[in-house]
Structure 1
């Protein structure tokens, strides 16, 4: 259906617009010519979290819900300090590519007369952000041990501290007319990192085939689009055009429904780490669980019978490292339906489970340079294919899943009882409930992996 975007009705209609910051933001949207359909409204009532957008009337598939002109996007190019940031582009280079945007945000956020104040005022103190980076280490370790979130947060905090100390602070001191370390503190920087993690967008590169060879586009803040909440089964999609960004309905949306965008195919641990929330595990079709690559080696060594077997496994592992299939840091990722890192895992299982003579021939003939069929590998490591793997392969996967399950603080059964006891569940704080969804979703995937490979767990060693 053709676009039916209209200027919004800026005055509150009944209880639809009730707070002044939101009213000022809507007036700002009108000023920057951000168009919005009359069929939707913003509210904190009836949404899954914080602000959200709801349908007042039925919306048809393909209908435009709102349109944002590119000059209404907030990034280093649209900030008041764009020239200074551009001049220092080389100085501000870093791994994440976020420093210029974060400096622009610090400047605009603390400048009362900023053009962006009505937008940024929707987050008056960032206390609504509840990323695990703001939890105590003790709380993270207690609630999220084994999920991968703790390690990701520790990496984030280390990088934020180093980035601020080594790049941001020296830059601000050399531009003291624009930034003040007394005001633009590490704590503010950390909050803005979480803000960018939770609310920014990254425009896809034009040529998808060359994405791996190019630096990704830097993140940007997209007013209005960042008001939409996320679910994996979303009903809208953000489209990028030369002049504007458009939010378009992916299916018919009925009056009273919340308008949902997607942040991508995100597992619950990623949602909690990057956005500060998690979906109910059964509703997140993109949920996944990791088995660390090093754990597969640990499982293989645990299953080995002799010191000679262990030496051979080490030799095999070194070859896999040379092939760039595994590493000291890295994980095999399992979704609800299959292994998402099928090439790496298939090759790892194949080589680790080879008999000694077979492995020697494999090394000498360098057959590993000829890859196995990708479709066959994917099928073999799907839920349908796992029970048909060789017994030694199944035993290795079963053991690795068991070692991973042992890393969690609580057992699967303990978490299941928590989830099923509605009275106890209702008394948990939001952090405990979100962490529970993350843990339990991962454990269910690992349990399913064990169920699918269990028949090989006690089988005698074969290739």
Structure 2
């Protein structure tokens, strides 16, 4: 452990201190510059410039960086900087980074209620299982293969591929495109395959075949692109994926989990306390995903239905 670095608890987006790193080489260069400037009797304005140069060579620490401060040939020192005023007697917080609850629990053994950086993962296997409930195995494999040829993929961690759902319930656009392709009528899918083989520009292929010839470069705007992808079929698929992900939490309802959390004491049973925060947060994001799908399907009167 780095001395003093583990003294402060984490608080998401509300830290009081930052740890910064300064390499030994940059400190040596700074000392040499200081010596030269002192010898030349430079004024206070030059001293401020020196401080600015030193600051530009530092970087804010997060949890992953702490071990880097003591590794390698270039010895690194640390500085603790107060970033805002703290009242006497109040706890001083650091930040371990912009991490969701699953990452906080895995790395540090705790979670936070209403963590704005929280995300929900939906495995690619869930999407494939949904596809098999509607289409043949050959259908799903061909659509997935084309999606990859269009240079798309999910997030990958420990040989597992998944899609992220944001804290607000918005799905990763790569998931929406995969669902869109899965649901394309056969003739439109064949057109997409043909276009991919004849048009070198993958983005142009997507613009023409996913959004139609009447589309324009403005469909590159992420918000508009998301709207165009949210057909009624895709929205229904999102509902199905949300239900499948909800089943991971077992038969107990969200209300039961909330009641258990309110009765739980962090001091006496921290494992249950923090795991319940994670469960409740995930289930609320599932509800937000359903709301996102419902609102998206209801506002797309101009989008074609699949």
Which category describes the TM-score, using the shorter chain as reference length?
0.5 to 0.7
With normalisation by structure 2, the TM-score equals 0.64
Q: 2:183 aligns with which of 353, 372, 376?
A: 353
CA deviations on 1:243-299 (whole Å, 9 max, x unpaired) are 4322222333222222211111111111111111111x22x1211111112212222
Cα contact 1:237–1:262 (8 A) shared by 2: yes
Q: Does 1:403 align with 2:244?
A: yes
Where do 5+ consecutive residues of structure 1 fail to align? 1-220
Aligned position for 2:255: 413
Give me the whole-angstrom Cα distance separating, in 1, the residues matched to 2:2 and 2:280.
Answer: 33
Indicate the SS of the match to 2:80.
strand
TM-score of the two chains, using structure 1 as the length reference: 0.44
C-alpha separation in 1, matches of 2:86 and 2:219: 38
Structure 2 residue ranges without an equivalent (≥5): 28-76, 208-217, 299-303
Higher RCO structure, 1 or 2 (CA under 8 Å, sep 6+): 2
Report the counterpart of residue 146 of structure 2 in structure 1: 319
Structure 1: 4+ residue segments shifted above 4 A = 371-375, 378-381
Structure 2 residue 16 is matched with structure 1 residue 235: yes
Give the RMSD, CA atoms, in angstroms.
3.1
8 Å contact from structure 2 (residues 264, 272) kept in 1: no
Shift of 1:452: 2.1
Superposition map of 1:33-432 within 5 A: 221-232=1-12, 233-242=14-23, 243=27, 244-279=77-112, 281-282=113-114, 284-302=115-133, 304=134, 307=136, 311-322=138-149, 323-326=151-154, 329-337=160-168, 339=170, 341-342=172-173, 344-366=174-196, 369-370=202-203, 376-377=221-222, 389-409=230-250, 410-419=252-261, 422=262, 424-426=263-265, 429-432=269-272
Q: Which one has a larger percent helix, Structure 1 or Structure 2?
A: 2
In structure 1, what is the Cα distance between the partners aligned to 2:284 and 2:243? 12
Give distance in 1, aligned partners of 2:143 and 2:280: 34
Aligned equivalents of 1:395 and 1:376: distance in 2?
24
Change (3 A) 1:223 1:380: farther
